[in-house]
Amino acid sequence: MPRRIIIDTDPGQDDAVAILLALASPELEVMAITTVAGNVPQPLVTDNALKIVELAGRGHVPVHRGCERPLLRPLYTAEYVHGPSGIDGADLPDASWPPSPGHGVDVIVEACMASVDDPITLCPIGPLTNVATALVKQPAIVAGIAEIVLMGGGFFEGGNTTPTAEFNIYVDPHAAAIVFDAGVPITMMPLDVTHQALVTPEHIGRFRDLRTPVGDAVAGMLGFYERHDVEKYGIGGAPLHDPCVIAYLIEPDLFSGRRCHVAVETASELTMGMTVVDWWAVGDREPNALVMNEVDADRFLDLVVERLATL
């Protein structure tokens, strides 16, 4: 039986690739896509998710609009990385259908409450506002969650938005703190692992060589997206952050890490959104997350290309 998942997302070019990878993988059943303000504001993230679902030819997957701002802080967005649309580089037409009815938070709550006997996996690849709000609104949903596999945070790699904070956690650190304290099994894909999963011009060429609408769109989006990280870090490509979450669900042996306690800084403006990972078990708190720090990058990129070739 396919693993049932909900993708919570703020597309974003790398979010778009993650959504396409999930929709191309028979091991996964995407029950719903919920959107959250992050890389760009609502309703752009919702429009982008709809466009990506239509691009994949998977119109049966419902897309639900979620939260418009973080729990306590002003919204911080990343057009400087993703462009004004969030998915610059691909000129995708507007979707031919609107978002599905129901707020994203309510969709998460209802799906989890109905899944106690067959728990589902939540896949947040944006700020954690929707997931945290669902946990606060109805704490009993933890019984219907098999695992939360998320992209966010960093430790040895530091941050990509502030010296200590990764974007998704920085945008809504209070939500992240709620999620990490919820007592749900968590697998964390931090910058430590996603910065190894680089898409290079060679990989972009492989997408373009597919000669399909999906291949052309992905090549265009990633060609735009990589310019920021190449300029900022002086590396040979752009990290495919969010697809790591989906790849882990398909082939978990691509990744390795260790169980650690993770706390999120919510008080200090200097280190706001820092994920404090007790990698060496020097503290007295029990591990609450499986924190990944290594990926077989070649196999990972091969998987992404091969699966997207089927759409």
**pLDDT by residue (tens digit) across 97-107?**
999 999 999 99
Residue 57: is its pLDDT beyond 90? yes
Give dist(CA 278, CA 197) in Å, integer.
23
User: What pLDDT is attached to residue 230?
Assistant: 72
* b/e sequence 147-173, b meaning 16+ C-beta within 10 Å: bbbbbbbbbebebbbbebbbbbbbbbb
pLDDT on residue 60: 86
For 110-121, write each residue's pLDDT tens digit. 999 999 999 999
Query: Residue 107 sits in a domain of what CATH number?
Result: 3.90.245.10
Residue 282: domain span: 3-308
pLDDT score of 227 more than 80: no
Q: What's the domain count of the chain? A: 1
pLDDT of amino acid 139 = 98
Q: How confident is the model at residue 201 (pLDDT cuts 50, 70, 90)?
A: very high
Catalytic positions? 241
Question: For residue 52, what pLDDT is reported?
Answer: 98
pLDDT at 59 over 90: no
